[in-house]
């Protein structure tokens, strides 16, 4: 660390399973890519399934407060089949996204040369999904009456606000300006007319401020078709929380597996730290074997650096990953081998 | 028509665009496949975009009442880009599904030999999606306040009842008994915990009555991955209204295009007529050229016959379609050529 190096505090949540194995490589990539220009202090947080199984804690208030004081968050993966679906998701992952107002869920999809897509003719795939992260069906609004009886009624409420939609729409148009200048709104406005109209109207309004950016619209069902038949048509996909969840997993599959995809949960107004993570899960089936691929975690480090303003360092990581994949393709390597191979190119 | 032939009244809604071109072939297939055992009277309904543009009517009450008096409905396709999204969908298609309590939306997906899938290694694809048709986010519950202002809030409410879920779950297990005895529940129960828990609990409960049927669970996001990487894993997919909408379009793409997929909106308790239709839309771009493929419409006729109890006749149509595709593959043919070729094999 030189005198001019900027100092950052990163909250590290390795989480469970392979999360713990890949996260150190994200940290090493962070450091190597910014040698001399940035220095990182890490605050480790023991959060996730293991912690919960051990002492019943999911996200203690004091941890959340400490996380709020950091500059950014690196997350590995969270989850364990022994825990009922929803507990960690809502108590930890979504709680962080909501408490830190991470309203842009940024998910690039790129088919790297050397990676085999399940599509026969994938074409050039390089798009980014801008998924809203703090509204829609993810609010936790809803409930159930007469639980477990034949008269049970369960509801889920999607809440959407002009405030929440406009800020993510604006982010998508700004991003499109740096890319191929094309935004595709994905929704289901022919059925979800209340939310759909609001999204479309705001896209139309904000779109007027970006005359160079073209925008079109695609129903979520049609979007899942294009994702398979013509993914190269997409540049920036703009969509709500649930549709974004669905579409980015399909996108991950189409670019050869979620192992090559990273994601950022971004508070674009910088009131709170943003969070970066590989898209893959904790993969209990391969955990502990040292064979998890750290590529997505390393790509999440690049996203973190870009968010902090280190565009060159981020681009170097991306390039190193791209080179590594081009050369080694899908040759089986250990976690450490892949990590070392990528870092060697940095 | 022999003396023993059963007489049925079919409501025919050709609709718009290519809907009008393919529906007559569905009718011819109906007749040819049941010669001597069934006879059909048709009641034609002028409903869809053209009617709406002409006189502003979408689904007059008297039409709905007449439709209720028929034995089944053949629908072509409805839609026109000049009409705002949502008007015909909610006013006609969904209105029919809800008014006729068509709670099972049945959508088989099969990769026919001779059809090219966009997947490099599709494997054997042959599954059925059982999509709930009268609940969830499709109820039209929701609204908006402060429309068009920066303080707008728009909601969409997913309403799910034990009554509505149990009947479709039961249908899925019954169907699985006639197939490979495997049901996959698709939901997002880690986030939509209220509705998700109810679905899972009812599947567990009903599942106990079908010990021969195995059932598992898959999040909607993971399901879109499997649909691309391993679609052969699915036998009967059971899911809610919105997830079913999304997944069946992706499935249609994976089996080589929605041109080979038909769908039934079924009132399985037979209080009201069920409705059968190709999955494709009105395709204004190719309408009027005589080149629309009537295969999906003809397959919807087979579904209608199966619903009325004519299993053999339905199987003959399916077999004729399969033979036709195997022999002619994707050779460009006119609507009438394909129709004639399929009927010739009946
Ligand atoms: C784990 C789950 C809550 C989460 C989501 O639904 O957002 C995940 O699927 C994702 O895409 O990040
Ligand atoms: C047209 C639309 C209302 C409909 C739906 O969303 O159900 C369609 O996409 C379908 O799948 O039948």
Over 80: is that where the pLDDT of B264 sits? yes
Integer Cα distance of B80 and A294 in angstroms: 48
B145: contact with A, CB 8 A cutoff:
no
Instruction: Kindly list the structural domains of chain B, giving each domain's residue range(s) and its CATH number in brackets, ordered by start.
Output: 1-113+256-346 (3.40.718.10), 117-124+158-255 (3.40.50)
- What percent of chain A lies above the pLDDT cut of 90? 96
What's the average model confidence in pLDDT over B59-65? Answer: 98
Beta-carbon contacts of residue A158 (< 8 Å; ≥ 6 apart):
A135, A136, A137, A139, A192, A195, A240, A242, B137, B142, B155, B156, B157, B158
Strands A72-77 and A6-15, by their bridges, are parallel
Chain A residues close to B118, C-beta within 8 Å: 119-121, 228-229
Distance between start and end Cα atoms, chain B: 17
The answer to whether the CB of A65 falls within 8 A of the CB of A129 is no
Whether A188 is catalytic is yes
Nearest CA, atom 8, ligand 1: A245
Q: Which helix (H) or strand (E) holds B105?
A: strand B104-110
Residue spans of beta strands (DSSP E) within A111-200:
126-132, 142-145, 153-161, 182-187
Contacts of B35 by beta carbon, 8 Å cutoff, 6+ apart: none
**Which of B22, B24, B16, B18 shows the shortest CA–CA distance to B54?**
B16
Angle at B43 between CA B39 and CA B48, to 5 degrees: 135
Q: Is B288 on the interface with A (CB under 8 A)?
A: no
Q: Does A131 show up as a binding residue in the annotation?
A: yes
> Catalytic: A197?
no
Taken as a whole, chain A contains a residue count of 346
Instruction: Supply the residue whose CA is at minimum distance from atom 3 of ligand 1.
Output: A89
Q: What pLDDT, on a 0 to 100 scale, did the predictor assign at position B1? A: 45
Residue nearest atom 7 in ligand 1 by C-alpha distance? A245
Phi and psi at residue B338, in whole multiples of 5°?
Answer: -60, -45
Q: Cβ separation of B144 and A252 shorter than 8 Å?
A: no
pLDDT for B104-127, tens place per residue? 999 999 999 999 999 999 999 999
CA distances (Å), origin B270, targets A22, A288, B128 = 56, 55, 21
d(CA B22, CA B164): 33
Mean pLDDT on A34-58: 97
CB contacts under 8 A, B 193-232 vs A, are 193-198, 201, 220-222, 224-225, 227-229
With CA atoms as reference, report the closest residue to A93 among A126, A52, A146: A52
Is the pLDDT score of B2 beyond 60?
no
The helix/strand/coil state of B44 is: strand
Place of tokens 């599509």: A119
Whose structure tokens read 């009456």?
Answer: A145
List the one residue out of A199, A177, A315, A181 whose CA is nearest residue A235: A181
CB A125 within 8 A of CB A109: yes
What are B89's two structure tokens? 């969908």
Q: What is the pLDDT of residues B83-93, one digit of tens each?
A: 998 999 999 99
Residue nearest to atom 10 of ligand 1 (CA): A245
- At residue A138, the 3 state secondary structure works out as helix
pLDDT of B255 reads 97
Judged by average pLDDT, the poorest of A329-333, B95-99, B273-277, B317-321 is A329-333
Tally Cβ neighbours within 10 Å of residue A277. 27
Mean pLDDT across chain A, nearest whole number?
96
Catalytic residues of B: 138, 188, 221, 245, 249
Size of interface A-B (CB pairs under 8 A): 204
Which ligand 1 atom sits nearest the alpha carbon of residue A277?
12
pLDDT tens, B309-345?
999 999 999 999 999 999 998 789 999 999 999 999 9
Question: Does residue B214 come out as left (phi exceeding 0), alpha (psi in the -120 to 50 range) or beta?
Answer: beta
A174 close to ligand 1 (CB < 6 Angstrom): no
pLDDT for res B3 = 60
Nearest Cα residue in chain A from B217: A85
Q: Is the pLDDT of residue A2 over 60?
A: no
Determine which of A58, A85, A90 to mutate to test the interface with B (most B C-beta atoms within 10 Å). Answer: A85
Asked whether the predicted pLDDT for residue A69 surpasses 60, the reply is yes
Could you tell me if residue A81 is left (phi over 0), alpha (psi between -120 and 50 degrees) or otherwise beta?
A: alpha
Question: Average pLDDT over chain B, rounded to whole?
Answer: 96
CA distance A87 to A93: 10
pLDDT of residue A15: 97
List residues bridging with A131 in a β-sheet. A105, A239
Nearest-angstrom CA–CA distance, B76 and B19: 4
Contact A259, A283 (CB under 8 A): no
pLDDT tens sequence across B213-261: 999 999 999 999 999 999 999 999 999 999 999 999 999 999 998 889 9
Q: Residue B153: CB within 6 Å of ligand 1?
A: no
pTM of the model: 0.97
User: What's the pLDDT at A1?
Assistant: 45
Shortest alpha-carbon distance between residue A239 and chain B (Å)? 14
Q: Are B109 and B261 in contact (CB under 8 A)?
A: yes
For the Cβ of A262 lying below 6 angstroms from any atom of ligand 1, the answer is no
- Rounded Cα distance, B187 and B156, in Å: 18
**Is A160 an 8 Å CB contact of chain B?**
yes
Tokens of A156: 């889920």
Which helix (H) or strand (E) element contains residue B16?
A: none
Burial of B336 (0-12, 13-18, 19+ CB in 10 A): middle
A221 given a catalytic annotation? yes
Q: Is the pLDDT of residue A232 over 80?
A: yes
Q: Which residues of A touch B91 (CB under 8 A)?
A: none
Specify the pLDDT at position A3.
60
Given this model, what pLDDT does residue B200 score? Answer: 98
Show which of residues 76-105 on chain B sit within 8 Å of chain A, judged by CB atoms: 85-86, 89-90, 94
Please work out, in degrees rounded to the nearest 5, the angle formed at the alpha carbon of residue A178 by the alpha carbons of A172 and A180. Answer: 85
Say how far residue A289 (Cα) sits from the centre of its chain.
25
Collect all residues with Cβ–Cβ distance below 8 Å to A312 and sequence separation of at least 6. none
């Amino acid at each position: 660390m030189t005198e001019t190096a900027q100092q950052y505090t990163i909250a590290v949540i390795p989480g469970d399973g392979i999360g713990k194995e890949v996260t150190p490589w994200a940290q090493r990539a962070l450091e190597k890519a910014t040698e001399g220009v940035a220095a990182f202090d890490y605050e480790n947080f023991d959060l996730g399934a293991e912690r919960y199984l051990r002492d019943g804690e999911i996200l203690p208030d004091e941890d959340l407060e400490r996380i709020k004081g950091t500059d950014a968050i690196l997350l590995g993966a969270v989850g364990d089949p022994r825990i009922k679906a929803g507990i960690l998701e809502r108590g930890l992952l979504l709680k962080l996204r909501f408490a830190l107002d991470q309203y842009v869920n940024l998910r690039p999809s790129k088919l790297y040369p050397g990676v085999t897509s399940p599509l026969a003719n994938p074409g050039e795939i390089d798009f980014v999904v801008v998924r809203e992260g703090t509204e829609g069906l993810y609010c936790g609004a809803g409930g159930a009456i007469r639980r477990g009886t034949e008269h049970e009624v369960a509801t889920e409420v999607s809440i959407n606000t002009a405030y929440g939609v406009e800020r993510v729409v604006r982010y998508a148009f700004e991003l499109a300006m740096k890319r191929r200048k094309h935004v595709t709104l994905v929704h289901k406005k022919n059925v979800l007319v209340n939310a759909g109209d609001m999204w479309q109207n705001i896209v139309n309004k904000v779109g007027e401020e970006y005359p160079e950016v073209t925008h079109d619209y695609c129903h979520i069902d049609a979007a899942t078709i294009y994702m398979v038949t013509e993914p190269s048509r997409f540049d920036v996909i703009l969509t709500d929380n649930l549709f974004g969840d669905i579409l980015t997993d399909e996108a991950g599959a189409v670019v050869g597996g979620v192992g090559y995809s990273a994601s950022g949960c971004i508070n674009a107004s910088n009131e709170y730290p943003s969070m970066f993570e590989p898209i893959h899960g904790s993969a209990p089936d391969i955990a502990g074997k040292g064979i998890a691929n750290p590529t997505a975690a390393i790509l999440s480090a690049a996203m973190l650096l870009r968010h902090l303003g280190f565009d060159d360092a981020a681009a170097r990581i991306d390039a190193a990953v791209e080179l590594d994949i081009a050369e080694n393709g899908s040759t089986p390597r250990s976690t450490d081998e892949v990590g070392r191979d990528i870092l060697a190119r940095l």
